[in-house]
Amino acid sequence: MLELKHLKYNVEDEQGKKEILNDVSLSIPDGKFIVITGPNGGGKSTLAKTIAGIYRPSGGQILLDGEDITELGITERARLGISFAFQQPVRFKGIEVFDLLKLASGNKEMSQGQACRYLSEVGLCARDYINREVDASLSGGELKRIEIATVLARGSKLSIFDEPEAGIDLWSFTNLIRVFEQIKEETQGTILIISHQERILDIADEIVVIEKGRIAKSGPKEEVLPAILGSDSAIPGCHVQKEQEETVR
Amino acid sequence: MIEMDGIEKKILEEVAEIHGIPQGAYNIRYNGEAQARQSTKDIQITPKEDGTGIDIRIADGTVNQSCCIPVVIAKTGLRDVVTNDFYIGENCDIVIVAGCGIHNCGDQDSQHDGLHRFFVGKNSKVKYVERHYGEAENGTKGGNIMNPVTEIYLEEGAQMEMESTQIKGIDSTKRDTRAVVKENASIVIKERLLTNGTQFAESRMDAELVGENSSANFISRSVATDQSKTTYYSNIVGKAPCHGHSECDAIIIGEGKVLAVPALDAADPDAALIHEAAIGKIAGEQLIKLQTLGLTEEEAEAAIVEGFLK
């Protein structure tokens, strides 16, 4: 169970103090598929990064299975079972895809077969990618899939994805959704996704809408989704992309 | 059968990845003298008449063979100077390993200055691996110094790939690598350097592309930590329609300093020459990414450096 209690995150700029998160409280039980949505600039990504420890909250508490993790760093939180897939994955000169998967899994002796399985899950032909460097030679879409594969390899109880669909190119939403379902099944854990794509919202157990740093709505998908359809919080997929996916399938 | 002590065995493993006596042709130089040598039918190793080094002659058409010529110095205050010439025939495909390791057990500097000249025949393919390694006994103050010079002459259609690595324990190095590349020939030099403490490393790479469709590709990656300093100079001169590329990437950790000076000289209007250089600290987002995988900041830094220098 992940609990956020009165979470605040402020930044100071030339115009003074700005509240990015303002009194966010939320309880996420285990095994749930949660999508956090809301208009751009509303605080979604900040909330995800605050949970992963990348940002330190200005106030409030974060509890994981009853343990207060508010003061813990990124590493400690990762070791307690929080994974994070970045919206814009980082590139590394020299580190190969296989290296990254080994680091993610914590298993230096990971077999090629196992690494291949993770890559296949995200639609990459393992033979072509396993020894590729995670550098500028990879496209944004390839990098994004490798990022998701690292979360698969982690197999942790809370997996956070920051806009996972962005840059996924021709690889279909259907496959992406299958990956989420698989993570959920294998880890029996919680999946928390930042997205405003209607098709991702559609597979959520629960939806949380964040606007102006506050929770505007939250509840089961059946209740929340109809209320936000057509707004900035639930954008339908692009027609061209849908047609391409149909062709690929 | 030669006798090796633990230090020599360890250094040979570090610089040449060999365990005991190597296979095929080899020459092991120990404390400034030849210790063991073996030629094969196709690879003949002979001492120079003036005693300054060895000649390695590789017969035309020699393929899938290797030659290993490691140097070990386990003496303090020794200055070892050697000239080795490689005469590689036509249509060969071979691997040459030439590492040097110093174990300094005293307070005086130990130094190895090697000149390696490669005369590579038409359409031959050579992979040349050179590793430099140094260590000191606890409490000793003697420096480990290496100043390797490599000259490469590539005939038509010849290809040479040089991998040069210096990861540990060399206090001062000035490396100088020069290549003259003829028609349809290519040279690739990959260099990996890590300096720490107050170490100093200077690397120069020069290529003269004299033949049509010749090419040079220099890839230098270095990490300068603590108060160490690394300098990279490269110069590619295109005297014919050719391709040249020089890439220098460096990571600074602590108060390390890096200077990169890539030069290009297009002396022919159809010479296509490129250089890239990037120097900086490890990006904060790279550390954060690896921390989200459960690594500490120190482990993340080590993983990034290890990958970068791989």
Q: Is the confidence at residue A230, as pLDDT, over 90?
A: no
pTM for this model (two decimals): 0.85
Tokens 């030679």 locate to: A137
| Dihedrals phi, psi of A55, to nearest 5 degrees | -110, 140
| CB contact A136 to B (< 8 Å) | no
Q: Is the confidence at residue A75, as pLDDT, over 80?
A: yes
**Which tops the pLDDT comparison, A235 or A245?**
A235
Question: How confident is the model over B201-217, as pLDDT tens digits?
Answer: 999 999 999 999 999 99
Q: How many domains does chain A have?
A: 1
Q: Is the confidence at residue B1, as pLDDT, over 60?
A: no
Among chain B residues, the shortest Cα distance to A149 is held by B293
- The CA distance from A139 to the nearest CA of chain B, in Å, is 18
Cα A82 from Cα A1, distance rounded (Å): 12
pLDDT for the residue A155: 87
Q: For residue A147, what are the CA distances in angstroms to A44, A140, A194, B183?
A: 19, 10, 15, 44
Mean pLDDT value of segment B69-84:
87
Question: How confident is the model over A120-167, as pLDDT tens digits?
Answer: 988 888 888 999 999 989 988 899 999 999 999 998 899 999 999 887
pLDDT for the residue B152: 98
**Computed from CA positions of residues B18, B21, B25, B29, in that sequence, does the dihedral angle turn out positive or negative?**
positive
Question: How confident is the model over B21-61, as pLDDT tens digits?
Answer: 777 899 988 888 888 899 999 999 999 998 889 999 999 99
Cβ atoms of residues B45 and B81 within 8 Å? no
pLDDT for the residue B144: 87
Cβ atoms of residues B265 and B246 within 8 Å? no
* Coil, helix or strand at residue A114: helix
Q: Is the confidence at residue B197, as pLDDT, over 60?
A: yes
Cβ atoms of residues B25 and B39 within 8 Å? yes
| Dihedrals phi, psi of B143, to nearest 5 degrees | -90, 155
| Distance between first and last Cα of chain A | 37
Question: How confident is the model over B89-136, as pLDDT tens digits?
Answer: 999 999 999 988 888 888 888 888 889 999 999 999 999 999 888 888
Model ipTM value: 0.91
Give B300's Cβ-side CA count (13 Å radius): 20
Name the residue range of residue A111's domain.
Answer: 2-248
Q: Do A92 and B286 touch (CB under 8 A)?
A: yes
Question: How confident is the model over A90-130, as pLDDT tens digits?
Answer: 999 989 999 999 999 999 899 999 999 999 988 888 888 99
Indicate the helix (H) or strand (E) that contains B250. strand B242-252
Cα B296 from Cα B302, distance rounded (Å): 10
Cβ atoms of residues B230 and B257 within 8 Å? yes
Tokens 């508490």 locate to: A61
Confidence of residue A246 (pLDDT cuts 50, 70, 90): low
Amino acid at A17: K
Among chain B residues, the shortest Cα distance to A99 is held by B307
Reference B12, options A99, B2, A239, A125; nearest CA is: B2
Amino acid at A103: L
- Chain B interface, Cβ < 8 Å to A: 221, 249, 283, 285-286, 288-297, 303-304, 307-310
- A84 contacts in B (CB within 8 Å)? 292
Among chain B residues, the shortest Cα distance to A102 is held by B293
Q: Is the confidence at residue B284, as pLDDT, over 80?
A: yes
